[in-house]
């Protein structure tokens, strides 16, 4: 998929939040905003616009993805049907089926309407013991099922303070994308999420984030060449809000965001997407 558009790409990871009613309402608001026509465009949205979402420039140049808990996938799929909003799972297991109680497979996520799946989120790594090797197996299983894996990598505070950030990123990248062909890598999205910035209100500065993003793109260039590096989508995650979306988006290697807390609020999430789009349209 050389030449894949690089952005902006904004994904909302709802984590273990929202019942079905709340999920439906939030997904409808996001779908309405993502499909909203610009004031001068003649096309109209097929999605009924719920109240409470401010009008603004259309988001049609922005890839918008919602990542609800498994229990809400069907509800959210129905709520965004007919819109441009994509759907993702928060995790998957690498086997397609079998006696794996509690797990969900790539083909099951496809069946539920997903085109994306998170792999190796830091909460999976820290709370549920996922290793770099498991992350690689999951990313491969996602590709095999026709899903785009959003592979999450990032250092913990002790690694940053100890000057080991880029080394840790190299390890996670090498093991997470182990054995991947150039074509495989061109279907992957990478999310750089410094663990110390997730849910803490402490965001990496644009310069701190760009240093790591440029490093990741450089590693992809070394291993897979210029074209693949040029179309690699590299998201930033960690306390992203509308107010920091624009300055982060101005950095040349930041292609969008993986948003946690702020994605639970339609206006906040849409605001992040609009600010990313504003930076993109101004050209970096
Ligand atoms: P946060 O989460 O935006 O709440 O920091 C980001 C993430 O975990 O992906």
pLDDT reported for residue 4: 67
Q: What is the pLDDT of residues 215-258, one digit of tens each?
A: 999 999 999 999 999 999 999 999 999 999 999 999 999 999 99
pLDDT reported for residue 275: 95
**Active site includes 121?**
yes
Residues 6+ away with beta carbon under 8 Å from 265: none
- Structure tokens belonging to residue 243: 């107010």
Sequence-ordered strand ranges (E) for 25-137: 63-67, 86-89, 116-119
Ligand 1 contact via 153 beta carbon (within 6 Å): no
**Out of 6-20, 57-71, 145-159, 204-218, least confident range:** 57-71
Q: Whose CA is nearest to atom 2 of ligand 1?
A: 260
Q: What is the pLDDT of residues 138-189, one digit of tens each?
A: 999 999 999 999 999 999 999 999 999 999 999 999 999 989 999 999 999 9
What is the 3 state secondary structure string of 2-28?
CCCCCCCEEEEECCCCCCHHHHHHHHH
pLDDT reported for residue 93: 98
> Is pLDDT above 50 for 276?
yes
pLDDT reported for residue 5: 74
- Report how far residue 111's alpha carbon sits from residue 108's, in angstroms, rounded to the nearest whole number: 5
Give the residue among 277, 250, 239, 245 at the shortest CA–CA distance from 13: 239
Compute the distance from residue 68 Cα to the ligand 1 centre, in Å: 13
Q: What is the pLDDT of residues 184-208, one digit of tens each?
A: 999 999 999 999 998 888 889 999 9
> Is pLDDT above 90 for 44?
no
Percent of the chain surpassing pLDDT 70: 90
Judge whether 217 and 234 are in contact, CB under 8 Å. Answer: yes
Ligand 1 contact via 193 beta carbon (within 6 Å): yes
Compute the distance from residue 261 Cα to the ligand 1 centre, in Å: 6
> Is pLDDT above 70 for 13?
yes
pLDDT reported for residue 42: 37
> Is pLDDT above 80 for 122?
yes
pLDDT reported for residue 41: 37
> Is pLDDT above 50 for 61?
yes
The closest-lying atom of ligand 1 relative to the alpha carbon of residue 13 is 9
- Structure tokens belonging to residue 217: 């793109």
Rounded to an integer, the average pLDDT of 110-135 is: 96
Q: Whose CA is nearest to atom 1 of ligand 1?
A: 260
**Active site includes 130?**
no
pLDDT reported for residue 54: 47
Mean pLDDT (the chain, rounded): 90
pTM of the model: 0.91
Ligand 1 contact via 35 beta carbon (within 6 Å): no
Strand partners of residue 150: 118, 189
> Is pLDDT above 80 for 284?
no
The residue annotated as part of the active site, out of 130, 155, 193, 275, is 193
């Amino acid at each position: 998929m050389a030449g894949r558009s690089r952005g902006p790409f904004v994904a909302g990871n709802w984590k273990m939040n929202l019942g079905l009613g709340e999920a439906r309402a939030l997904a409808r608001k996001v779908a309405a905003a993502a499909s909203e026509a610009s004031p001068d465009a003649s096309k109209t949205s097929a999605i009924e616009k719920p109240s409470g979402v401010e009008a603004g420039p259309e988001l049609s140049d922005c890839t918008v993805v919602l990542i609800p808990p498994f229990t809400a996938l069907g509800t959210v799929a129905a709520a965004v049907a007919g819109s441009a909003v994509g759907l993702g799972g928060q995790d998957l297991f690498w086997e397609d089926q079998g006696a794996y109680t509690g797990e969900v497979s790539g083909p099951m996520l496809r069946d539920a309407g997903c085109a994306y799946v998170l792999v190796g989120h830091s909460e999976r790594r820290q709370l549920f013991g996922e290793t770099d090797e498991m992350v690689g197996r999951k990313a491969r299983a996602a590709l095999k099922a026709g899903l785009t894996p959003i592979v999450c990598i990032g250092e913990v505070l002790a690694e940053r303070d100890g000057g080991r950030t880029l080394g840790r990123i190299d390890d996670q990248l090498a093991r997470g994308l182990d054995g991947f062909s150039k074509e495989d890598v061109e279907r992957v999205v990478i999310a750089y999420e410094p663990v110390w910035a997730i849910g803490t209100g402490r965001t990496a500065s644009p310069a701190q984030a760009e240093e790591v993003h440029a490093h990741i793109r450089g590693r992809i260039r070394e291993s897979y060449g210029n074209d693949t590096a040029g179309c690699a989508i590299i998201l930033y995650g960690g306390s992203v809000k509308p107010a920091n979306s624009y300055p982060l988006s101005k950095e040349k290697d930041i292609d969008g965001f993986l948003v946690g807390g702020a994605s639970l609020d339609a206006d906040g999430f849409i605001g992040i997407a609009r600010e990313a789009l504003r930076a993109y349209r101004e050209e970096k």
